[in-house]
Amino acid sequence: MRQKLVAGNWKMNGTASALTELGNLAYSCKSAKSEVLICPPSTLIYRASNVCVDSKVEIGAQDCHSATYGAHTGDLSAEMLHDAGATAVILGHSERRADHAETDKLVRAKATTAIAAGLTAIICVGETLVEREAGRTMDVVRAQLEGSLPDDSSGSKVVVAYEPVWAIGTGKVPTVEQIAEVHSGLRASLVKRFGGETAKAIRLLYGGSVKSSNAKEIFAVAEVDGALVGGASLKAADFAPIVSALDASA
């Protein structure tokens, strides 16, 4: 059985005052059965991990460099993030693919470094609206999966998040049939590449406008092992019900 996971991505939101909200979330999730992860901006990782010590909430990062150290002004290595208290890192989010021209090859290199540093790599894939309307969704996500996952991926090292670009921050959500189609296609690709046992241990999250109002139906979809949540992860009152919905689906 794959352990369910709900991960919150705060993106470029939050200063020290947001730690109070995180404390509220840690309290709300004290009896959560699912794994709960919050990825605040890097500036908050150390303090956030202190706030969440002895709680069910783990802290993650939103990106890392592909190199282990060196002359990369302004960047952070996976080891630094791990040292600050992160246990996981989101990689290849569509906002990074778009804003920083990140390629599958770069995402794979980052994932390799992150895993070596002891972080779980949460690798994002997802089609744009133009790609969906052209009927290319499965080709796009399969190619991203193939290119972005390291060869030694396993359930303890890698989580895959399917995030249709057009659903992120828009309030638009694919139908449950569309989510089911992509998740079962991703699972089949994982089985083909890594073999059944390894593939079946890799968790597949759905992300894109997940809220407490739609979480239940999304979590009922086969092969959905949890969610990657942006906007609704910023407030404990919005995020905790999503965690409860995932617990109830288990």
For ligand PGA, the closer of residues 60 and 150 by Cβ is 60
Residues 165-224 contacting ligand PGA, CB under 6 A: 168-169, 207-210
Q: How far is it, in rounded angstroms, from Cα 248 to Cα 169?
A: 25
Find out whether 62 and 9 touch, Cβ atoms under 8 Å.
yes
Q: How far is it, in rounded angstroms, from Cα 222 to Cα 230?
A: 22
Rule CB under 6 A: is residue 38 a binding residue for ligand PGA?
A: no
Amino acid at 47: R
Q: How far is it, in rounded angstroms, from Cα 184 to Cα 198?
A: 15
Q: Classify strands 35-39 and 120-125 as parallel, antiparallel or unpaired.
A: unpaired
Tell the smallest beta-carbon distance from residue 208 to ligand PGA (Å).
5
What is the per-residue DSSP string for 158-186? EEEEE--GGGTTTS----HHHHHHHHHHH
Tell the smallest beta-carbon distance from residue 73 to ligand PGA (Å).
26
Rule CB under 6 A: is residue 164 a binding residue for ligand PGA?
A: no
Rule CB under 6 A: is residue 121 a binding residue for ligand PGA?
A: no
Tell the smallest beta-carbon distance from residue 94 to ligand PGA (Å).
7
Catalytic residues: 93, 163
For ligand PGA, the closer of residues 168 and 182 by Cβ is 168
Rule CB under 6 A: is residue 106 a binding residue for ligand PGA?
A: no
Q: Which residues bind ligand PGA (CB under 6 A)?
A: 9, 163, 168-169, 207-210, 228-232
